[in-house]
């Protein structure tokens, strides 16, 4: 028996409606299959084809890197005294997605006021990094206490701003050895483009000049940091991983801080340079250039006003110890060498000297316009007779004189680690003159060259290398700043005759004992040997030079002093500077 009976509505079911419900169901089912098929296809595409990229985008929104800058390696002098180190300071970072938030305008305005940085500069830094950057973007370094306090007070307006402690470069001696050490600073766009392949990135601090740039790879270290998970508001939820920053390696220099300070004091505020080196192995003991700068300035943002002030100092970033100038009579060391080594003059040869000489239709005079009577090489060095060396140059000829000039290392870089900042100087010859002046070489050019004038250009460092040759007995040394205690690899023999070395050493000693450098003939020093030079310049005061080494019989140190456009002569202006440096060295 049926439990339920069919109910009749009183209407007849038309034959044409039979099966319509089944047809509707099939249509709905087909539409559903198509829709879910499309969704499934899209999900499969997103998962299989674009899954990796989408996961990366999701992680970039969820995972952040808090960078940890490495501590840069220290720089020490030869005795272990600190020349450059690091100190802790506060830096400001911003989350890269901050500009997307409605509060960004308020944040940017407040931050710009506290840091005294234009809003446009803050925006440019963030735009450069991009809002998908996985790391925080540094906006400012080395904050002062007032800025740190202000950032804390306005914390509610600066929710996307972070303050971290990091190391910045510190130079405890300020301007002392500034041109040797150089300075550090954040990479600009051009530098970043060149060094990105080496692992550098936006915000990296690199050496910009000097030792900081030359030994960048040793000093830089490796970045570390923390990988954190953040929520939609940028709040840190948990630490995912941490990589300690790897500090850079220390660098030990040949510089002697005591000698460096003495050289800085000796040069004072004169525009010029002083170089001191060990003539036996080329170690640079001191290198001074004026005007100078304080490299600590670059540990924070350099404003246009500060930069303008620095530039008003007559090119303070130019290392004049590595720039070239006419060497004047100091060059007579090389003319003496060429004269004896050519075989055209015996070591004990003598020549008459004159007030003036007519050479090739031009009058060339001695510096005293009277001459010194008959002189040999020793006396000619002691009294710096020009007319003596005019005669040497005429008989030796341009080719031999130029050849020995280049053997001494003039006309090429010395090989010191500061190569990008070093001038090669100039040793002109006939081809150079034809190319640059469209004129042939003349005997007057050779005569001018014999006393260190004319086209000849030499750096103070090259001149120190020249004085090291007679000091060490005939070897050309390669000056260097990295302490390694090796000697043989920094010396190369010029194969001078023993008689040539003997004459040079006797002549340079007599300069001090009875010639133009008697200011160095003092009881506070061991016997000194050296040579003065006064370089004539166009329309300006002369340059003053003096180079010396001591003790004369067993030299330990060479010192070259250069005063740019000082006037007054090498024996009066530059020699007293050398005296102060030597006294400081031997006082130890």
Q: Is the pLDDT of residue 263 over 80?
A: yes
CATH of the domain at 337: 3.40.710.10
- Are 67 and 171 found together in one domain? yes
- Separation of alpha carbons 196 and 68, rounded Å: 18
Strand partners, 549: 529, 558
What is the per-residue pLDDT across 529-560, written as a single tens digit (0 to 9) for each? 999 999 988 778 999 999 999 999 999 999 99
| Cβ contact 187:204 at 8 Å | yes
- Are 382 and 522 found together in one domain? yes
For the chain, how are helix, strand and coil distributed in percent, rounded to 5?
Answer: 40, 20, 35
Q: Is the pLDDT of residue 414 over 60?
A: yes
What is the per-residue pLDDT across 140-160, written as a single tens digit (0 to 9) for each? 888 888 988 988 888 888 877
- Are 214 and 341 found together in one domain? no
Of the ranges 11-25, 403-417, 459-473, 500-514, which one carries the lowest mean pLDDT score? 11-25
User: 107 pLDDT band (50/70/90 cuts)?
Assistant: confident
- Are 243 and 344 found together in one domain? no
Q: What are phi and psi of 533, to 5 degrees?
A: -160, 140
Cβ density class 294-303: b for 16+ within 10 Å, e for less: bbbbbbbbee
Question: How many CB atoms sit inside 10 A of residue 127's CB?
Answer: 12
* CB hemisphere CA count around 540 (13 angstroms): 8
- Are 352 and 492 found together in one domain? yes
- Separation of alpha carbons 24 and 168, rounded Å: 76
- At 22, list the tokens: 């089944």
- The residue range of the domain holding 87 is 63-252
| Cβ contact 499:340 at 8 Å | yes
Q: Which of the listed residues 235, 252, 269 is the one where a domain comes to its end?
A: 252
Residue with tokens 């500034």: 178
What is the per-residue pLDDT across 433-473, written as a single tens digit (0 to 9) for each? 999 999 999 999 999 999 999 999 999 999 999 999 999 99
Q: Is the pLDDT of residue 8 over 60?
A: no
- Are 562 and 436 found together in one domain? yes
Q: Which of the listed residues 236, 252, 268 is the one where a domain comes to its end?
A: 252
| Cβ contact 467:557 at 8 Å | no
- Are 338 and 247 found together in one domain? no
What is the per-residue pLDDT across 275-321, written as a single tens digit (0 to 9) for each? 999 999 999 999 999 999 999 988 777 767 777 777 767 789 999 99
Alpha-carbon distances, residue 559 vs 203, 468, 510 (angstroms): 41, 10, 17
- Separation of alpha carbons 482 and 479, rounded Å: 10
Question: 8 or 361: whose pLDDT is higher?
Answer: 361
CA-atom Rg of the chain in angstroms: 37
Question: 252 or 242: whose pLDDT is higher?
Answer: 252
- At 476, list the tokens: 């050309």
């Amino acid at each position: 028996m049926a439990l339920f009976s069919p109910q009749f509505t009183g209407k007849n079911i038309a034959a044409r409606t039979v099966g319509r419900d089944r047809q509707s169901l099939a249509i709905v089912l087909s539409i559903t299959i198509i829709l879910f098929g499309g969704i499934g296809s899209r999900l499969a595409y997103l998962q299989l084809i674009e899954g990796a990229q989408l996961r990366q985008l999701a992680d970039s929104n969820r995972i952040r890197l808090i960078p940890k800058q490495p501590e840069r390696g220290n720089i020490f002098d030869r005795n272990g005294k600190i020349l450059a180190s690091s100190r802790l300071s506060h830096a400001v970072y911003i989350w890269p997605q901050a500009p997307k938030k409605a509060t960004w305008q308020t944040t940017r305005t407040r931050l710009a006021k506290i840091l005294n940085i234009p809003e446009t500069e803050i925006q440019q830094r963030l735009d450069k990094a991009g809002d998908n950057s996985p790391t925080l973007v540094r906006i400012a370094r080395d904050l002062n206490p007032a800025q740190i306090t202000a950032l804390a007070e306005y914390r509610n307006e600066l929710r996307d701003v972070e303050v971290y402690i990091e190391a910045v470069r510190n130079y405890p001696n300020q301007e002392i050895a500034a041109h040797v050490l150089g300075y550090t600073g954040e990479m600009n766009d051009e530098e970043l483009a060149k060094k990105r392949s080496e692992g550098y990135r936006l915000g990296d601090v690199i050496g910009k000049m000097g030792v900081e740039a030359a030994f960048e790879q040793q000093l830089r270290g490796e970045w570390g940091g923390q990988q954190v998970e953040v929520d939609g508001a940028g709040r840190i939820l948990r630490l995912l991983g941490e990589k300690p920053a790897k500090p850079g390696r220390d660098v030990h220099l040949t510089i002697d801080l005591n000698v460096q300070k003495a050289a800085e004091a000796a040069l004072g505020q004169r525009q010029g340079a002083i170089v001191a080196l060990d003539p036996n192995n080329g170690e640079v003991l001191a290198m001074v250039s004026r005007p100078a700068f304080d490299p600590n300035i670059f540990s924070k943002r350099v404003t246009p006003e500060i930069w303008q002030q620095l530039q008003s100092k007559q090119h303070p970033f130019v290392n004049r110890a590595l720039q070239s100038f006419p060497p004047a009579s100091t060059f007579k060391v090389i003319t003496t060498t060429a004269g004896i080594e050519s075989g055209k003059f015996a070591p004990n040869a003598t020549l008459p000297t004159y007030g003036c000489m007519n050479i090739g239709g031009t009058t060339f005079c001695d510096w005293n316009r009277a001459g010194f009577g008959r002189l040999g090489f020793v006396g000619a060095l002691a009294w710096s007779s020009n007319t003596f060396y005019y005669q040497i140059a005429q008989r030796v000829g341009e080719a031999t004189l130029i050849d020995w000039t280049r053997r001494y290392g003039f006309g090429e870089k010395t090989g010191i680690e500061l190569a990008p900042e070093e001038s090669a100087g100039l040793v002109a010859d006939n081809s150079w003159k034809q190319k640059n002046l469209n004129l042939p070489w003349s005997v007057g050019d050779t005569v001018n060259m014999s006393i260190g004038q004319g086209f000849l250009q030499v750096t103070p460092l090259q001149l120190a290398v020249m004085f090291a040759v007679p000091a060490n007995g005939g070897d050309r040394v390669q000056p260097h700043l990295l302490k390694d205690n090796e000697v043989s690899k920094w010396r190369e023999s010029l194969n001078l005759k023993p008689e040539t070395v003997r004459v040079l050493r006797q002549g340079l000693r007599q300069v001090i004992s009875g010639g133009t450098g008697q200011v160095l003939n003092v009881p506070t020093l061991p016997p000194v040997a050296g040579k003065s030079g006064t370089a004539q310049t166009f329309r300006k005061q002369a340059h003053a030079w003096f180079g010396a080494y001591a003790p004369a019989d067993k030299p330990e140190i060479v010192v070259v002093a250069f005063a740019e456009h000082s006037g007054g002569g090498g024996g009066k202006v530059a020699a007293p500077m050398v005296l102060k440096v030597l006294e400081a060295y031997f006082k130890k």
